[in-house]
Structures are given as C-alpha cells and as structure tokens.
C-alpha cells in the first residue's frame, strides 16, 4: 500500500463504520497538548508548533504524557491498527493521525477546558 493512499483508506474505513446522518456545521476541533514540554531539540512545544505550523503525532515527537507506545507493535500502534483497519500500518509517521476532540455537541469553550487534564493542560481550538 502506498503512503499516499493511507489517509484515503483510513477515511474510507471510518466512513464504512460510521452510523447516523451528517452533523450540523460549523463544528470546532480542540487539540490538547502540554505547551511547556520540549521537543527532541529542546524547543518548547508551543514555539515549535508556532514555527512549523504543524501539530505532530507521538510517532513523530516520541513524547507522551503517559505510556510512550507510538512504535510498531506498541499499544497506540495496535489501537490505530484496529480503528483504521491497518490503513496506517506502513505509512510514514507524518501521515499518522493527530488527535483532538470534535465538539459535536457544540459545548461552549469554557465547558471544554479541563475535560482531559491527564492528557493536556492546554488546548488549541479550530
């Protein structure tokens, strides 16, 4: 499977599993992170995001607030394999999913803050 097809295959697999009708738009997505963490070159995470304009996966950063299992055969890799039916098994790390929360219930931002303290102490909302 080519890496260019990984994302399309993952979306296709999720669409096949999805139930219900379309959600109302616009919807916001919250990305949770620890801005005080350092990247592998000792750059503060928030600065690295601002400089690159990219949110990176644990497979790319090799950092975690919990167990670092973002490697082939690790718990995160196995979970992604089950959820996306193997679509990312051979994909380059930069194509792997980045995680956040879809605010499909359209809660006010104030209610979203602090919902995932073990995962993050900050969030970006798009």
Please give the biggest Cα pair distance in the chain: 45
CA–CA distance, 69 with 55 (Å, rounded to integer): 18
Task: Kindly tell me the burial class for residue 58, based on how many C-beta atoms sit within 10 Å of its own C-beta (0-12, 13-18, 19 or more).
Answer: buried
- Over residues 13-33, the pLDDT tens digits come to 999 999 988 888 788 887 777
Predicted local confidence at residue 39, as pLDDT: 84
- Confidence at residue 28, expressed as pLDDT on a 0 to 100 scale: 81
What pLDDT, on a 0 to 100 scale, did the predictor assign at position 113? 54
- What pLDDT, on a 0 to 100 scale, did the predictor assign at position 3? 44
pTM here is 0.72
Confidence grade of residue 111 (pLDDT, cut at 50, 70, 90): low
Residue 8 has pLDDT above 80, yes or no: yes
Look up residue 94 and give its DSSP letter. G
pLDDT in tens, 34-76: 777 888 889 988 898 899 998 888 899 887 777 889 999 999 9
């Amino acid at each position: 499977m080519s890496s260019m097809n990984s994302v399309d295959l993952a979306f296709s697999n999720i669409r096949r599993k999805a139930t219900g009708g379309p959600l109302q738009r616009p919807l916001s997505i919250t990305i949770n992170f620890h801005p005080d963490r350092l990247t592998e070159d000792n750059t503060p995470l928030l600065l690295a995001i601002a400089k690159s304009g990219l949110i990176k996966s644990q497979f790319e950063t090799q950092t975690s607030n919990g167990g670092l299992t973002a490697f082939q055969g690790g718990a995160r890799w196995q979970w992604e394999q089950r959820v996306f039916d193997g679509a990312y098994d051979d994909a380059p790390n930069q194509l792997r999913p980045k995680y956040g929360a879809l605010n499909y219930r359209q809660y006010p931002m104030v209610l979203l803050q602090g919902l995932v303290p073990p995962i993050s102490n900050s969030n970006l909302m798009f």
